[in-house]
Amino acid sequence: MEPLLEVRDVHTFIGQYHILQGVSLSLKKGSVLALLGRNGAGKTTTLKTILGLTPPRQGEVIFAERPIHEMRSFDIAAQGIGFVPEQRSIFRDLSVEENLKIAERKKGDLRRKQELIFGLFPDLQRLIRLPGNHLSGGQQQMLAIARALVADNRLLLIDEPTEGLAPVIIEQLILAIRQLSAETTILLVEQNFIVASQLAEDYVIIEEGKSVKAGKMADLLHDEPTIHRYLGAA
Amino acid sequence: MNSLALFLRRNRTLLITAVILFLLLIVAIRGMETKDWVITLLRSLSVAAVTFLVASGFSLIFGLLDVLNLAHGALFMIGAYVAWTVYIRPDTTIALLTPTCLLAAGFALLPLWSYLASRLGGKKSLARLWPWLGLLLAGVVLLYALRAYPITIWDPGVYSNAPGTYSVFADSGTLVIPEPAAFTGQSPVLVMAGILLGGLLLAFSLSGLQNRRSGGATRKLRLPWPYLAGFLAVVLVGVLVYIFNTPLTTAVVALGSNWLFLIAIVVALLVGILLGSFIESSLIRPLYSRPIYTLMITLGLSAVVVELVRAIWGRPEFTMPKPAIFDVTGGNCPATTLAGIFRDHCSTVEFMGSRIRVYNEIFIPLIGVLVLIGIWLLIQRTRIGMIIRAGVQDREMVEALGINVRQAFTFVFALGVGLATLGGALAGPSMGISTAMGDSMILNALIALAIGGLTSYPGAAVGSLLVGLVQQFIIKYGQIGIQLPFMEAPFKPSPPLVPASTVLLMVIILLVLPNGLLGRRKE
């Protein structure tokens, strides 16, 4: 089967810094791929490069058989890519409802998706009128994921969903993401290896801006030396 | 109850400042007789309304685009000059309409041009060169064609044809609209075709430049017909206006000053919106990543605009008579009741012992309030408003949702400049028109924003109000004097203290609340 997303030998510069020095990955439709690696390895930059927020200087990004690396980022997102950034980037002055509504690409998107969204995150329905800055960290994370679900996205880029959250909330998020993975394709960046291993089927390890290893998550779990070498004691 | 206590504690500095400001206002009012403080309050509202029109646009632009538009004052001034011209010289305005339409027609085809430009392959160096060659050619063609186009007698250098002379005539009510100018020598068709061609070339070259910047990605062209229809419609309007120039001018002049004033205000607003979108897309857009350069370019733009206005309008100062509906004196005037204003169209009204000018102290604040509410609804209730509010906080995330933030940028810039030119047009009859009006206004607006909070919309309103109050009360006390306990004669603040007082207020407020009254730290 054709991959939904394919990243081929991408090089990205931020200012004068050569951040990505050759990242390649391939993501099958309907699967979950975890992007692993140490802090500062270039995982977040990889997501931003796919979205065109930090456009690549070299290499190709193919989404649904279409090259997207030369498009502007709003065009890329409109192809059907949802982004859940690391800092959640909830719009503080917008209410929860507006935070969802702004993600509509067609009129009525939110109404059609509200069953799915409030099914996954019942809390949000209760908080719908509150401004974004009144939410707790976990609620913000749920809202950030929900926002990516409003439009008809074929791919979700989720960056560090569990960072800085309480274990109870992490449990909830894992359940939600697992439920989502049944229907859409997910590229997940996750520091927490235990969480990543529960969610993803495949993995790619990034080290110093290069993708160095890829394979099945099931194999990685038994590959102590690799885990030790690239991810530290996990 | 708990949440109220929390609210009070969180905002205690703001609340204490507000109480102190309110007490100061009470003290200032108590020091005057009723008739004095009523008129002073109303004048403050008038100044506040105009300041708010400039400040709110400035703050919207800064909030979303991070651009400090230092040309905002100059654009405010442009609004006043444009409104004056439409109001006093409708004939010139109509004569200008034809070349403007012909020139603008090419821009109606912009989507077609950018498609063609992206298709125009060839060598890299050639692709870099041709837009500049096109621009040069367009410049030469337009220079010749526009110079050959006769504009109804208007020449700042010749006394009888100078705008200032018409201003004097208009003030005394003896203005006679001169005969329209005619083509001398050249064929009208040729000249008009030249302008049209120049406009087409200009639009095409500019889209070529834009295209080079955006990396030359091939765009798809959907349905060229609406654009073509728009192009033809604009050309048709231009030609029709040329053919029916005389009857149209007669008809417009016969509308009388009230309608002309309304038209003048609308035209000023439209000119602001068009200018704003043009400035954003041509000068500001390439420089978003370099904030210092946008600062320099808007500063330079403001100097250029002021000099252009001097060159075109000649004399630096005009008065703009008020429209008839606000300008009746004698007879039953000044009015004593609200109904009297409407019945007799008095220029002034007696209220609580003071004589209030209807246009300055009632109409302008009213428009200010209407704009305040209108923009607030736009920001709070519409999708574009939602995108603006979100973009102020996190542009990248808005873009990542698949929204073209750049379109919102252009919209906000055009809206902000439109508000400024609207303010200029409204301020014309009350403040008088001069090339210096922009400088003092942008200073007022900046102080108002610093007081209220740079990117806060309600802050712009509160700040403008405070600036208006402080200025007007100081001016009034300059006339009547304050009896200070340790001085024998009443202290009369001199006029230079007026701007100083607002700066002092700003300094004090910023010392207590570094982000202004309602501002929030940008994260």
* pLDDT over 50 (residue B288): yes
Distance from C-alpha of B365 to C-alpha of B263, rounded to nearest angstrom:
20
Q: A17 at the B interface (CB within 8 A)?
A: no
pLDDT tier at B216 (50, 70, 90 boundaries)?
Answer: very low
Distance from C-alpha of A147 to C-alpha of B210, rounded to nearest angstrom:
33
Q: A63 at the B interface (CB within 8 A)?
A: no
**What pLDDT, on the 0 to 100 scale, is given for residue B351?**
81
Going by their DSSP bridges, the two strands A66-67 and A58-63 should be labelled as antiparallel
pLDDT tier at B493 (50, 70, 90 boundaries)?
Answer: confident
Q: B-chain residues within 8 Å CB-CB of A71? A: 217
The answer for residues whose C-beta is within 8 angstroms of residue B505's C-beta and 6 or more apart is B447, B451, B466, B467, B470
Task: Give per-residue pLDDT as tens, B342-376.
Answer: 777 888 888 887 888 888 888 999 999 999 999 99
CA dihedral over B380, B384, B390, B393, signed as positive or negative: negative
B76 contacts B438 by C-beta, under 8 angstroms: yes
Task: Give per-residue pLDDT as tens, A56-66.
Answer: 999 999 999 88
Q: B399 at the A interface (CB within 8 A)?
A: yes
Distance from C-alpha of B435 to C-alpha of B156, rounded to nearest angstrom:
15
Q: Residue B491 corresponds to which tokens in the numbers above?
A: 């202290």
| Residue that wins the pLDDT comparison between B214 and A230 | A230
A31 contacts A202 by C-beta, under 8 angstroms: yes
Task: Give per-residue pLDDT as tens, B368-401.
Answer: 999 999 999 999 999 999 999 999 889 999 999 9
Going by their DSSP bridges, the two strands A17-28 and A32-36 should be labelled as unpaired
Q: A56 at the B interface (CB within 8 A)?
A: no
Q: Residue B143 corresponds to which tokens in the numbers above?
A: 């220079």
pLDDT tier at B122 (50, 70, 90 boundaries)?
Answer: low
Interchain CB distance below 8 Å, A151 and B401: yes
User: Residue length, chain A?
Assistant: 234
Interchain CB distance below 8 Å, A74 and B402: yes
Cα of B112 to nearest chain A Cα, Å: 19
What is the rounded end-to-end Cα distance, in angstroms, of chain B?
30
| Residue that wins the pLDDT comparison between B163 and B484 | B163
Distance from C-alpha of B212 to C-alpha of B216, rounded to nearest angstrom:
5
Q: Residue B369 corresponds to which tokens in the numbers above?
A: 């309030």
Q: A-chain residues within 8 Å CB-CB of B408? A: none
> Which among A70, A73, A91 is the nearest to B394, CB-wise?
A91
* pLDDT over 80 (residue B238): yes
The answer for residues whose C-beta is within 8 angstroms of residue A100's C-beta and 6 or more apart is A110, A117, A124, A143, A146, A147, A150
Distance from C-alpha of A168 to C-alpha of A29, rounded to nearest angstrom:
30
**What pLDDT, on the 0 to 100 scale, is given for residue B472?**
93
**What pLDDT, on the 0 to 100 scale, is given for residue A234?**
46
The chain B residue lying nearest A77, using CA atoms, is B402
Q: What is the mean pLDDT of residues B157-178?
A: 80
The chain B residue lying nearest A147, using CA atoms, is B401
A100 contacts A129 by C-beta, under 8 angstroms: no
* SS3 (DSSP) at B474: helix
B348 contacts B331 by C-beta, under 8 angstroms: no
Going by their DSSP bridges, the two strands A32-36 and A202-207 should be labelled as parallel
Cα of A224 to nearest chain B Cα, Å: 37
* pLDDT over 80 (residue B296): yes
Q: B400 at the A interface (CB within 8 A)?
A: yes
- Angle (CA) B437 B439 B442, round 5°: 105
Average pLDDT, chain B: 87
Q: B-chain residues within 8 Å CB-CB of A70? A: 215, 217
B321: Cα within 13 Å, side-chain hemisphere:
22
**What pLDDT, on the 0 to 100 scale, is given for residue B346?**
82
Task: Give per-residue pLDDT as tens, B89-109.
Answer: 888 899 899 999 999 998 888
Cα of B65 to nearest chain A Cα, Å: 17
**What pLDDT, on the 0 to 100 scale, is given for residue B222?**
65
* pLDDT over 60 (residue B523): no
Going by their DSSP bridges, the two strands A81-84 and A155-159 should be labelled as parallel
Task: Give per-residue pLDDT as tens, B425-452.
Answer: 999 999 999 999 999 999 999 999 999 9
Task: Express as a percent the part of chain B with pLDDT over 90.
Answer: 45
Interchain CB distance below 8 Å, A77 and B397: no
Which residues of chain A fall below pLDDT 50?
234
User: Residue length, chain B?
Assistant: 523
Q: A-chain residues within 8 Å CB-CB of B386? A: 94, 98, 101-102
Beta strands in B210-301 (DSSP E): none
Distance from C-alpha of B133 to C-alpha of A233, rounded to nearest angstrom:
63
Least confident of A213-222, B130-139, B194-203, B480-489: B480-489
**What pLDDT, on the 0 to 100 scale, is given for residue B136?**
94
Interchain CB distance below 8 Å, A73 and B399: yes
